[in-house]
Structure 1
Amino acid sequence: MYDVVVVYPLLQSEGTEHILLGEKKTGLGQGRVVGPGGKVESGESLRQAAVRELFEETTLVAEETSLIPIATLHYPFPTRPHLSQRSHAFLVREFEGEPTPSDELIPQWWPKTQIPFSRMWPDAKLWLPSALAGGFIRATVTIGDDDGVLGVEWAS
């Protein structure tokens, strides 16, 4: 099982809070809407990886100290163990720059009340709303052959 990070930038605009998501262009989840993120590299802290991935995928610049942890999710893929991963999710409200597309992601701002869950990994609708509302989420989400959710175990 390897570690990944995902960052959800939030921005207040015209009285509405928006979240930055993007269409994944390559790799696992290609075509889905996801938060900017990726694998933690050897020797990197989770926060270092989150800041690096955010910049690489969107060109947004954030400080490690501005990241707010919102979830740790274990994703076993029983029939594809090489995909099994532990995901560390963060919010960030303080950042610089305007999001631009990269080789990995086509970023787009969405009103927080209109997150496109039908285009995301199926588990996102189970935990992301609570995490965005201020709760820290810990869970194990088992993923099946069709990338659907086989089961969820919530931890306290």
Structure 2
Amino acid sequence: MTVDGVAYRCVVLCFLFRSRGGAREVLLGLKRTGFGTGRVVALGGKIDGRESAVGAAVREVAEESGIELARDELRDAGRISWSFPAQPAWNMAAFLFTADAGVTPPVASEEIEPRWYAVDDIPWSGMWQDAPYWIPALLDGRQIDARIVMDPDNEGVASAVVD
């Protein structure tokens, strides 16, 4: 995908939710390999070839957690783009989805170690630094339209517009 002449990889992120003991939880995972290794992230990844965003989300959730979702179980949660001026090959445009996880327990994959977190106890310090700018709105059920520009160190946030 190209925006204003700049290339972006198309990816999906899927946030799975469940209720446990009256508390709402979200499934996140410690990234074991690839982009973001060592960070706590949402399930997701690249859209392959002519695959739809919904199809990619269903596939990625299954690959990374063993949880099988039907396409109609996913809810559109918006869009977000990340620009890495110091590393343009990392630029990404993501389709965001949410879904109820059901009762299937997540299983670790080679890429992700999934874990349930209470929505009021998100491990912000283990995540990308942009996460607090937009994830709280997603957790509140709001539709996301965000544009994040990362600092030259590819860690900090130079600017964040979240509508």
Give the TM-score taking structure 1 as reference length.
0.94
Displacement of 1:97 = 2.3
Runs of 4+ in 1 over 2 A off after TM superposition: 94-97
Identity of aligned residues (%): 34
Query: 1:33·1:119 contact (CA, 8 Å) conserved in 2?
Result: yes
Structure 2 CA distance for aligned equivalents of residues 96 and 102 of structure 1:
18
Query: 1:66·1:94 contact (CA, 8 Å) conserved in 2?
Result: no
AA in 1 matched with 2:25: H
Q: Does 1:130 align with 2:158?
A: no
Q: Does 1:120 align with 2:136?
A: no
Query: 2:80·2:146 contact (CA, 8 Å) conserved in 1?
Result: yes
AA in 2 matched with 1:79: A
- The CA RMSD measured in Å over matched residues stands at 1.2
Q: Does 1:65 align with 2:56?
A: no
The corresponding residue for 2:52 is 45
Identify unmatched segments of 5+ residues in structure 2.
Answer: 1-7
Three-state SS of the structure 1 residue aligned to 2:72 is: helix
The one-character-per-residue Cα deviations of 1:12-44 (angstroms, maximum 9, x if unpaired) are 111111110110001111100001110000010
Three-state SS of the structure 1 residue aligned to 2:107 is: coil
Select which of 72, 85, 94 maps to 2:92.
Answer: 85
Structure 1 CA distance for aligned equivalents of residues 16 and 138 of structure 2:
13
Structure 2 CA distance for aligned equivalents of residues 148 and 115 of structure 1:
19
In the comparison of the two structures, how many residue pairs are matched? 155
Displacement of 1:70 = 1.5
Structure 2 CA distance for aligned equivalents of residues 92 and 25 of structure 1:
23
